[in-house]
Amino acid sequence: MRRLRPFLAPAFLLGLCILAYGLWIPRMGFYWDDFPILWIGETFGQAGLARYFSTVRPVWGLLYRLSIPLIGAQPLVWQALAVALRWLTGLLFWLLLRAVWPKRGSFAVWAAAIFVLYPGFSQQFISVVYSHFFIVLSAFLASLLLSLQALRRPERFLPYTLAAWALGLFNLLCLEYFFFLELLRPLLFFIVLRQDHPWKRALGQALTRWIPYAASLLGVMIWRTFFFQSGLYQPLFMQRLRANPLDAVLYLLGRIGGDMLLTGAQAWGNAFRLPTPEELTPNLMRIYWAVVAAGILACLAYAVLDELFRRGEESLKRAWFPAPLLTGLFALAIAGAPFWLTELPLRLFFHYDRFNLAFMAGAALCGAGLLHLFPLPGRASRWLAALPLAAALGFSAGYHYQQAIVYVRDWNVQQRLMTQLAWRIPALQPGTALFANEQPVAHYSDNSLSAPLNWVFANGNTSQQMTTILYYPTVRLGLDLPALEKDQPLYTDYLAAEFSGNTSQAVVFYFNPPGCVRILDPQVEVDNYTLPRYVRRSLGIASTAPILSEGQPNLPAALFGRQN
């Protein structure tokens, strides 16, 4: 039985990932930026992906230039890959904590379990985008792990250090999300070295060993500041600092404290927000409670098996154990620097909760660290830690199950929208803009839905002039749309391509499921006061003239369902 022990924690973490994220993946699809990236990759190839990422994250874009030709537009494969990578990050986090505190194996597993089920991030199912986030996060965690192994195994110092340095540099070049978490490395060095050396010597060695990684951090900061500036995010905090230094410092302190509380503590409110009958049908509600129960039982089963495996071993001397909590607080205090500098808000809901990815490690360390902080007699420490954690993790799995239902519903609505538009519009004149009411979906915007529209109506068009685009007047008025009237120029930069048109060549439709898509003819709908007011205002530019009678819309079954 002891031969199975090395596989217990990895299997436990994998089971939690499958329970939380894997149950619905056969019915999942593509969401948010998934569609534009895939459409660009399928339509324009390597050159298009290079253009798309050139102004924001060019090094990160190289990953897509490798993965999209390999996988293609296969939702099931992307969803499975995203779950596997989420598990891999949890596995690396567990190994990292074991390397830092080798005698605290139980703590490492529980912290990793929190890490993979963290309820402050709901966008796991946007698989094309976040699978690449998790590739970068895996590289960073592997870099930390290898750099610690280089300390513990001097005979392998050079190869481990070179690999750790390369992976750390890869993280810095790809994304800004985990950029300042590099500051965790010298702290982890100090914790490990302090176990065998006086604190002054440990501190000196930690800083010395961090020099090559610090050089990478400084070099990339110089590159990002003076040679490559993102076209998407600007350092607004620096403008605030120049205008009023005291106000800027107070703002920053408030953001740091508030976001630490939000991501470290308040995020758990998501886990314990119970679904209502309006959100889940009776059958889905029963499955939700089954997921919660399965998560709790899995955690308790792990605790029992872990205890059985530990029998006969020398008991660890119980003592005050503040190091993980303090490390977690430090991680929370530095994780948000990219978002504080750009003054981007952190929230606990889509789509702003993507920024919370940077706080997962700190939140996991704080959560598990609090429950392992105080020495307790006998075996009570393990069980008292396991019970509340089991409940929290079980409800976290339930939270992600709730989110999965929303994603499945959105995918179904998107498929109905595209297929019904294809039935009503055999073909479109190039340069036609589609205007519509905001769709009742959480995980698509008009920008993201423009990609599948071009997939349907412009398959084979590889020019950088897009055939069509979707505008929500409520969103675009005053931006891409100067006014909701005839003869207004339209232009949108889609990064890899562009759309140029005019409101004099526009089709307006209305879709409110479970109703059907309605192409609006102004002569027919002029007295239809059941339409929302802003849709009625669009009737002034509506026309059916851009709709061509002959054509064959492209409806791949993997994206839009099988057509009867």
Shared domain check, 158 and 18? yes
Displacement of CA 374 from its chain's centroid (Å): 34
> Are 172 and 282 found together in one domain?
yes
Tokens of 34: 């998934």
Q: 347 and 488, same structural domain?
A: no
The pair of three-digit structure tokens given for residue 283, joined into one six-digit string: 């059958």
Strands 506-510 and 432-436: what pairing?
Answer: parallel
Tell me the C-alpha distance between 492 and 475, whole Å.
13
Residues 370 and 471 grouped into a single domain: no
Query: How far apart, in Å, are the Cα atoms of 406 and each of 31, 125, 442?
Result: 11, 10, 8
Based on the fold, state whether residues 399 and 429 are members of the same structural domain: no
Residue 212 lies in a domain: yes
* Cis ω before 351 (30° cut-off from 0): yes
* pLDDT digits (tens), the chain, 564 positions: 567 777 899 999 999 999 999 999 999 999 999 999 999 999 999 999 999 998 889 999 999 999 999 999 999 999 999 999 999 999 999 999 999 999 888 899 999 999 999 999 999 999 999 999 999 999 999 999 999 999 999 899 999 999 999 999 999 999 999 999 999 999 999 999 998 889 899 999 999 999 999 999 999 999 888 887 766 678 888 899 999 999 999 999 999 999 999 999 999 999 999 999 999 999 999 999 999 999 999 999 998 888 777 764 444 556 778 999 999 999 999 999 999 999 999 999 998 999 999 999 999 999 999 988 876 655 555 666 688 899 999 999 999 999 999 999 999 999 999 999 999 999 999 999 999 999 999 999 999 999 999 999 988 888 999 999 999 999 998 888 898 899 999 999 999 999 999 999 999 999 999 999 999 998 888 888 888 888 888 999 999 999 998 888 999 988 988 765
Q: How far apart are CA 140 and CA 168, in angstroms?
A: 5
Verify that 287 and 430 share a domain, yes or no: no
Specify whether the CB–CB gap between 65 and 18 falls below 8 A.
no
- Which of 380, 408, 436 lies at the terminal end of a domain, its last residue? 408
Q: Are residues 117 and 244 in the same domain?
A: yes
Judgement on whether residues 358 and 506 belong to the same structural domain of the protein: no
For residue 499, what are the β-bridge partners? 492
Residues 356 and 503 in one domain: no
Could you count the other beta carbons within 10 Å of the beta carbon of residue 487?
Answer: 9
CA-based R_g, the chain, Å: 26
Q: What is the DSSP letter of 225?
A: I
pLDDT of residue 88: 98
37 is a domain residue: no
Domain assignment of residue 66, yes or no: no
Let me know if residue 415 belongs to a domain. no
The last residue of one of the domains, among 345, 373, 408, is 408
Phi/psi-derived region of residue 431, left when phi > 0, alpha when psi is between -120 and 50, beta in every other case: left
Tally helices (H) and strands (E) across the chain.
23, 8
366, 332 in Cβ contact below 8 A? yes
Residue type, 86: R
Q: Which residues contact 325 (CB under 8 A, 6 or more apart)?
A: 365, 366, 369, 370, 373
Last-in-domain residue among 364, 383, 408: 408
The SS3 assignment for 495 reads coil
Q: Which helix (H) or strand (E) holds 422?
A: helix 380-424
How far apart CA 498 and CA 188 sit, in angstroms, is: 47
Burial class for 276, CB neighbours closer than 10 Å (0-12, 13-18, 19+): exposed
Please state, in angstroms and as integers, the Cα–Cα distance from residue 205 to each residue in 162, 196, 419, following that order.
18, 12, 63
44 lies in some domain: no
Total structural domains within the chain:
2
Asked if residues 471 and 433 have their Cβ atoms less than 8 Å apart, the reply is yes
- Same domain flag for 246 and 326: yes
According to the model, what pLDDT value does residue 56 have? 85
* Same domain membership, residue 501 and residue 465: yes
pLDDT at 377: 58
Domain range enclosing 127: 2-30+73-408
The reply to whether 210 falls in a domain is yes
Please indicate, yes or no, if residue 114 is contained in any of the structural domains. yes
Q: Which position has the token pair 């900061």?
A: 221
Q: Could you count the other beta carbons within 10 Å of the beta carbon of residue 72?
A: 13
The pLDDT assigned to 525 comes to 86
CA gap 144, 205 in Å, rounded: 16
The owner of tokens 């749309």 is 481
Q: What is the reported pLDDT for 561? A: 81
Q: Give whole-number Cα distances, 425 to 204, 413, 552, 554, in Å.
A: 70, 18, 9, 12
Q: What tokens were used for 202?
A: 């440990």
* Burial zone of 95 (CB within 10 Å; 0-12 exposed, 13-18 middle, 19+ buried): buried
Q: What is the pLDDT of residue 533?
A: 86
Phi, psi of 462 (to 5 degrees): -105, 10
Model pLDDT, residue 382: 61
Q: With 0.75 as the threshold, say if the pTM is over it.
A: yes
Same domain as 492, residue 376 = no
Q: Domain for residue 14, yes or no?
A: yes
Q: What is the end-to-end Cα distance of the chain in Å, rounded?
A: 53
